């Protein structure tokens, strides 16, 4: 850690890298060429998915393949509506992801505040306990959670998906690390004026923590939206399926070779995330570096 920290703390003397400016684009063409090849490999499959979703089954299996749909059709999408209950899965996925995100924002920010700014009995042990669970693989809790949900009568209920994800250690860690940086003097002044901790939390800490909250929202929404394993285990009837569960089951079952339908379903699953990603791009990468380098 030390070398990097020191290197970072040195003042950035040269704001523009002179050799870079001098050599310009021409000497770097091969870097751009390589990056572009890489880019095609990364986003090509998504383009292929979108194009494929607009082709007929006959065109999808044609050799040689067509790049652009010869006869663009929305039939695959209408089939998602007519033959499958995709609006329902979309609603389930949205409901689950939004509820998980909101509860994490509330629970993790409260817990983060307690761990960062309040002194209470057992605090440091609690922190260690929470951090200690971060390396534990998800498959460890899979079986006991299922047993618990059976006992609670929540199997095949979307709350069985929401509850275990309602608050996670990563979120607590992120919020605590961020809130440690809020000056104590600010809170102190409020305390002297007789403000309650809850008032300070709502009026000072939460507004100041906006960047961390944005990062946390992204960090919880994404896995909740994309989550596959646990919903697949605990949701059994079709009306409760989320988008990934429905698509995974159809892809392995009766629609395994129906690429057009599956790719249309994939587009429906991926587009909301891509839109969010493009909109909140800065927050996205920040959220991962925040949870990463700082944690």
Does 88 contact other proteins by CB under 8 A? no
Alpha carbons 51 and 43: distance in angstroms, whole number:
12
Alpha carbons 265 and 259: distance in angstroms, whole number:
10
Stretch that binds other proteins, among 71-79, 82-90, 94-102, 158-166 (CB under 8 A): 158-166
The least CB distance from residue 83 to other proteins, in Å, is 17
Report residue 95 as tokens: 């409901």
**Among residue numbers 41 through 60, which ones bind other proteins (CB under 8 A)?**
41-43, 45-46, 48-49, 52, 60
**Among residue numbers 182 through 221, which ones bind other proteins (CB under 8 A)?**
184, 187-188, 191-192, 197, 201
Distance from CA of residue 144 to its chain's centroid? 25
Stretch that binds other proteins, among 69-77, 84-92, 147-155, 206-214 (CB under 8 A): 147-155
Stretch that binds other proteins, among 72-80, 94-102, 120-128, 209-217 (CB under 8 A): 120-128
268 and 87 Cβ atoms separated by less than 8 Å: no
The least CB distance from residue 109 to other proteins, in Å, is 9
* Residue in 163, 170, 214, 216 binding other proteins, rule: CB under 8 A: 163
**Among residue numbers 237 through 266, which ones bind other proteins (CB under 8 A)?**
243-244, 247-248, 251-252, 259, 262-263, 265-266
The least CB distance from residue 188 to other proteins, in Å, is 6
Does 73 contact other proteins by CB under 8 A? no
Does 90 contact other proteins by CB under 8 A? no
- Number of residues this chain uses to bind other proteins (CB under 8 A): 118
Does 99 contact other proteins by CB under 8 A? no
Counting beta carbons within 10 angstroms of the beta carbon of residue 53, is it exposed (0 to 12), middle (13 to 18) or buried (19 or more)? buried
Does 35 contact other proteins by CB under 8 A? yes
* Residue in 68, 124, 253, 254 binding other proteins, rule: CB under 8 A: 124
Residue-wise DSSP of 97-159: HHHHHHHHHHHHHHHHHHHHH---TTHHHHHHHHHHTTTS-HHHHHHHHHHHHHHHT-TTSHH
Report residue 36 as tokens: 């572009």
Report residue 115 as tokens: 């761990």
The answer to whether the Cα torsion of 112, 93, 133, 178 is positive or negative is negative
Alpha carbons 240 and 224: distance in angstroms, whole number:
15
Q: Max alpha carbon distance in the chain (Å)?
A: 77
Does 68 contact other proteins by CB under 8 A? no
What is the distance in angstroms between the CA of the first residue and the CA of the last residue of the chain? 13
Closest to other proteins by CB, 142 or 208: 142
**Among residue numbers 166 through 185, which ones bind other proteins (CB under 8 A)?**
166-167, 169, 172, 177, 180, 184
Stretch that binds other proteins, among 69-77, 81-89, 132-140, 208-216 (CB under 8 A): 132-140
């Amino acid at each position: 850690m030390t070398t990097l920290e020191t290197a970072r703390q040195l003042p950035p003397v040269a704001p523009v890298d002179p050799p870079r400016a001098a050599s310009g684009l021409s000497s770097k063409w091969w870097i751009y060429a390589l990056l572009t090849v890489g880019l095609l490999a990364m986003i090509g499959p998504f383009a292929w998915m979108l194009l494929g979703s607009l082709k007929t089954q006959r065109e999808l299996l044609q050799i040689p393949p067509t790049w652009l749909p010869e006869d663009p059709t929305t039939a695959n999408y209408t089939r998602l509506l007519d033959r499958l209950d995709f609006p329902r899965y979309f609603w389930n996925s949205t409901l689950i992801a939004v509820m998980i995100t909101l509860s994490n924002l509330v629970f993790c920010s409260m817990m983060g505040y307690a761990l960062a700014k309040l002194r209470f009995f057992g605090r440091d042990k609690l922190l260690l306990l929470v951090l200690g669970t971060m390396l534990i693989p998800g498959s460890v809790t899979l079986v006991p959670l299922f047993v618990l949900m059976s006992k609670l009568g929540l199997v095949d209920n979307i709350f069985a998906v929401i509850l275990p994800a309602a608050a996670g250690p990563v979120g607590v860690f992120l919020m605590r690390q961020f809130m440690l940086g809020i000056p104590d003097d600010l809170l102190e002044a409020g305390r002297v004026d007789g403000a309650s901790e809850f008032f300070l939390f709502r009026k000072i800490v939460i507004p100041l923590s906006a960047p961390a909250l944005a990062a946390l929202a992204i960090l919880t929404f994404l896995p909740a939206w994309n989550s596959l394993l646990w919903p697949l285990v605990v949701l059994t009837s079709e009306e409760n399926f989320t988008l990934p569960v429905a698509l995974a089951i159809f892809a392995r079952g009766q629609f395994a070779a129906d690429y057009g339908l599956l790719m249309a379903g994939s587009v429906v699953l991926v587009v909301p995330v891509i839109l969010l990603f493009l909109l909140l791009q800065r927050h996205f990468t920040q959220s991962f570096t925040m949870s990463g380098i700082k944690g």
